[in-house]
Amino acid sequence: MKTPPEVREAFGLAKKVRQKAHAPYSKFKVGAALIGKSGKIYQGCNIENASYGGGVCAERVAILKAVSEGETEFTDIVVVTDAKDPAFPCALCLQVMAEFFESDTTIWVADTKKICSENTFLALLPKPFGPKQLNEAKK
């Protein structure tokens, strides 16, 4: 697997931001680093809440930070956990990605030691729900 230098940089940042995860309930820490087409890297960690449904995943934190700063187009995201089988983004995060990612936006899944897998967004969510479905609805 060939990892471009900006992806290796994002991996380092995702590992670092993972340490900031607020995960007192699950104890499962996640770090994400999202590479914008501008070259800027946005970091996110999971932030849980005593009212469990209020928790937000690392990937969504990174995406929401980026969009709120005016960047909406991305090339890659690196997600780091310490799961034995490295964890892929959850379905809710994939749906949020569907709003901004392109078919070939790359999702790199890593553990704390190495990047383990390279995936296109299309491979992880082949049939996303999007504006097309809304526009095609029978009125």
Output the smallest distance, CB 138 to ligand THU, in A: 34
Residues present in the chain in total: 139
Handedness of CA 77, 115, 84, 33 (dihedral sign): negative
Give yes or no: 59 in active site: yes
By C-beta, is 84 or 138 nearer to ligand THU?
A: 84
Residue 93 interacts with ligand THU (CB under 6 A): yes or no: yes
- Contact region with ligand THU (CB under 6 A), list: 22-30, 66-74, 103-111, 123-131: 22-30
Residue 57 interacts with ligand THU (CB under 6 A): yes or no: yes
Residue 78 interacts with ligand THU (CB under 6 A): yes or no: no
Q: Reduced to 3 DSSP states, what percent helix, strand and coil does the chain have, rounded to the nearest 5?
A: 35, 25, 40
What are the structure tokens assigned to 56, written together? 């937000």
Q: Which of 6, 9, 48, 59 is catalytic?
A: 59
Output the smallest distance, CB 112 to ligand THU, in A: 15
Residue 101 in contact with residue 122, Cβ under 8 Å?
A: no
Residue 48 in contact with residue 27, Cβ under 8 Å?
A: no
Residue 115 in contact with residue 109, Cβ under 8 Å?
A: yes
Binding residues for ligand THU, rule: CB under 6 A, are 23, 26, 28, 30, 46, 48, 55, 57-59, 87, 89-90, 93
